[in-house]
Amino acid sequence: MKATVQTELDRLPPAMRNKIQKLAYQISDALKPLALLLESADCELGYAAGPLLEEHLTFCEMLTLLEKSKLTKCL
pLDDT in tens, the chain (75 residues): 789 999 999 999 999 999 999 999 999 999 999 999 999 999 999 988 899 999 999 999 999 999 999 998 888
| Structural domain includes residue 30 | yes
75 assigned to some structural domain = no
C-alpha–C-alpha distance, residues 39 and 32, integer Å: 11
pLDDT in the model for residue 17: 96
Per the structure, the count of domains in the chain is: 1
Domain region containing 50: 5-69
- The pTM of the full predicted model, rounded to 2 decimals, is 0.80
pLDDT at residue 32, rounded to an integer: 94
